[in-house]
Amino acid sequence: MTIPSAEGFLQASSCLPCTAEEERELVAALAKEAEENVKDGDLRYLVSQSWWLEWQQYVGLVRHEENDTEQLPQAMNRPGEIDNSKLVSAETIVGSEEPELQRTLREGQDYTLVPQEVWRRLYEWYKGGPAISRKVILDSHGAHKSYIVDVYPLCLKLIDGRDNSERNIRISRKAKIHELYSMVCSLMSVEQSEIVIWDYYQKSKSKKLSNLNETLDEASITMDQEILLEMKLDGCSTGSSTRSTNNELALIPLGPSTSSFSIAGGPTYSNGFSSGIGSSFSQDNSFSPLLRDSTDGYNSFSNGTKDDTHGLSGLHNLGNTCFMNSAIQSLVHTPPLVEYFLEDYSREINTENPLGLQGELAIAFGELLRKLWSSGRTSVAPRAFKSKLSRFAPQFSGYNQHDSQELLAFLLDGLHEDLNRVKKKPYIEAKDADGRPDDEFAEECWNYHKARNDSIIVDKFQGQYKSTLVCPVCNKISVTFDPFMYLSLPLPSKVTRMITVTVFSGVGDALPMPFTVTVQKNGNCRDLIKVLTDVCCLKSSETLLLAEVYDRRIYRYLTNPVEGLYTIKDEDILVAYRLPVGHEKLLRLEILHRRADRFAADPQFNINRKLIGCPLITCIPNDSTGKSDIYAAVSAVLVPFLRAKAHGPDVSAVKLNGNGPSLDGIVLTDNGTTSEEGLSTSSGDDNAVDDELLPFQLSLTDEKGIVRNPINTDSNHVLGLVMRVSMDWSDREREMYNMDYMDELPEVFKPGFFSKKTRQEAVNLFSCLDAFLKEEPLGPDDMWYCPGCKEHRQASKKLDLWRLPEILVVHLKRFSYSRYMKNKLDTFVNFPIHDLNMSKYVKQTPKGAQQPMYELYAVINHYGGLGGGHYSAYAKLVEEDNWYHFDDSHVSSVNEDEIRTSAAYVLFYRRVGGSNTVADDVPIDIEMVDSLETAP
């Protein structure tokens, strides 16, 4: 569809659009024009995602049924007022005309962004609110230019040093320091020449904000932190009641954190910027790796006594940063990394690598590691490190919860690029094995990889896969050897669940029957249909259409065979309809039921009438949509529900039943047409059936059963592949049919009083490895192009571990994601702490080398679910041989037998024994660590 310009729309009509189609096309035109002419300072408005989805369905932009890919949008009711109330909190910002956003919103799930003109039109049509606008910001670096929407600007606590009064201000994190000064001067009625503003994180003077061209993000100013306003007096700032020195880097310990926002946990929210327009963070190339970053923003506290224990410093939670803290603690307790960053690593900083951050990320990590390993410290605020990480991986900007393993992967990659010893990567053309031995080809692939990637990260963390693909047609074998940084292992589960499904006949030859079957808990809809097919004794010409019923209507069809069964809850109601094979090419007739009584003549009652019973489904030929055809099909599928006394007296019912469809006779030809052997509908002479003789009353309706349209005698036009009709149930119909069989259907699973609770089954790490390395076919969306067949094939794939790294990182895949929902597995994994023997799984072992044995030294834990969770870490101090729990700022000792829990998410192992070992590493140089305390 060609979208006309907004100007053309406005010229064509001076009145507001009054139809759904006109609304759709005008909004599309306005949105297109806004995106094509986007500029710095434009406004984008937040709209509740639930309301936006209702509007899209109303105007036909989205289909209500995701699985009806060929169905045109159905007519929906016009939505009510725009309701953004769930997007805002009760708190307000002083001087702001807009309400404060909830901190846990996700773009695409909680809200969508629309241009200003689109919001204006929507508000004119629907009213409501409140209006929530955010600015579009130009983010450019060199020739690169992109736009971002600052959904979550910084909320800062401005403290007036003259009287210690406080007020909150809101400003973009991409704003320059001079813009902050202008805002403060306007609010406080002071002149810029008279004031100085301090980074006052944790109410301690960290640094003076004097670089007016620096952005707040670059200055490491974080959400909800304090900034201090001081008046200049004789060239010096004064007015603060806190102690300070002339040295801006002197940190005065004043007490614990007073941050008002420190949420540990939560789902994966959108970051502070909208991803709708995209974000790109500029990089300052004028960076000297030999100079310490004076804007690191670190703030540490001492208990007043010297602590000779090293490596026990906690990390402040900057606001949903427990995911980052847990990953950092695991890495800074990795012995090879500790040794590396405690020494002079500046000679390996790669300032020329365009894939890195010119060494800034590596230096920020090194500085953070040194501070964490300095004695006498209880906690460190990793603000500067987070700022550098956000520049390398913008998705981690803002202060929302993310996946710790994803951050770990990006961090290791960023450190590698900043420390890559290869300054100019050579071009190397990939070669095939050409029948060469695996040893020779694997070594060649590894050397090619090392020629472009050579760093401490590669040395310690990277291993090598062997991947084998086999074509199912020509048996062509393709072998590749690829590097890996960590192993992502699935959690095999033998836990089963019972699912009850009520099976209906689509031909009217049997009453509905509930079946309770046992399936794998982590199975999919294909597994459920397969076991139902067996217990139902389905004919070869039949298949099952699985659906979920909610509020007496079809809520969704489960037609995706690979959709996980975890999307089905115990309290759901599942039904399955026996239909002919190839029913997708027929017209699906969906029958809803509504109560009819003495109020049936009341139009208002007809609108509000509730549905009853369970929908019935049958199929009719696409060209048989006349009134008698529809009545015949409905009569046929209702035959099993006829009461005994109703079989004789109603002649019209018998007549129509005899003309109903016989699904056994439907044969689908290759071109999709139907050959109706026994599928008879009413003849042309029967089309003029007298309404008074009809056995029941039918109307065309929508999916909610609200709309009531008369059924035409000749034919009824249908959009898509589904025709919905509603049947009115009066006393006459209830006397004729027994509706009890389609009422009060059983839930998927309802445990009885004496039923035993299913115990969570435990698995061990080796079964996870077996599941990861087993041969399996590629998915339909991941087809392999076979060089033999010259076509895409669903090949079988087999992974093998060829070369193991010194540091083995194991990621347990507890989180699963689908289009409709997310899920977390709390399965307990029994993993070894000592003597993890990998000899069974590794294919290549150098001659004379000992068995690949590993010992655990760190664990990242995730507690809670997706709706709100928390990360922490266990780490072992090698020189002490003791385990500790690192929970943000809090650090405590823990027994070794306590670290195996169902919360374990990422495991860190180090190889022991042999020539390339870390078990016999030289103990960390404590004198070197102690010397860091006096370092600048």
Q: φ, ψ for residue 30 (rounded to 5)?
A: -65, -40
Catalytic residue among 322, 536, 619, 786: 322
Q: What is the C-alpha to C-alpha distance for residues 241 and 254, in angstroms, rounded to an integer?
A: 12
Catalytic residue among 310, 402, 416, 870: 870
Range list of H helices, 283-419: 322-332, 335-342, 360-373, 383-392, 404-418
At residue 537, the pLDDT reads 86
Q: What is the C-alpha to C-alpha distance for residues 349 and 332, in angstroms, rounded to an integer?
A: 19
562: number of Cβ within 10 Å: 12
Element (H, E) at 10: helix 6-12
Query: What is the three-class DSSP state of 921?
Result: coil
Sign of the CA dihedral with 772 first, then 778, 779, and 783 last = positive
Query: What is the three-class DSSP state of 927?
Result: helix
Q: What is the C-alpha to C-alpha distance for residues 824 and 522, in angstroms, rounded to an integer?
A: 11
Q: What is the C-alpha to C-alpha distance for residues 3 and 917, in angstroms, rounded to an integer?
A: 65
Query: What is the three-class DSSP state of 463?
Result: strand
Residues of the chain predicted below pLDDT 50? 1-15, 64-75, 93-96, 141-143, 235, 239-273, 275-307, 599-608, 648-688, 753-759, 818-821, 914-922, 926, 932-936
Q: What is the C-alpha to C-alpha distance for residues 102 and 104, in angstroms, rounded to an integer?
A: 6
Sign of the CA dihedral with 507 first, then 509, 512, and 513 last = negative
Q: What is the C-alpha to C-alpha distance for residues 784 and 793, in angstroms, rounded to an integer?
A: 5
Q: What is the DSSP letter of 289?
A: T
What lies within 8 Å, CB to CB, of 634 at 6+ separation is 589, 591, 616, 618, 696, 698, 725, 727
At residue 847, the pLDDT reads 63
Residue (of 66, 62, 2, 48) closest to 28 by Cα position: 2
Query: What is the three-class DSSP state of 348?
Result: helix
Decide if 322 is catalytic.
yes
Burial (CB count <10 Å: 0-12, 13-18, 19+), residue 518: exposed
Q: What is the DSSP letter of 709?
A: B
- Length of the chain equals 936
Q: What is the C-alpha to C-alpha distance for residues 731 and 597, in angstroms, rounded to an integer?
A: 8
729: number of Cβ within 10 Å: 20
Residue (of 215, 223, 202, 227) closest to 320 by Cα position: 223
Q: What is the C-alpha to C-alpha distance for residues 676 and 658, in angstroms, rounded to an integer?
A: 15
Residue (of 878, 758, 896) closest to 831 by Cα position: 896
Decide if 870 is catalytic.
yes
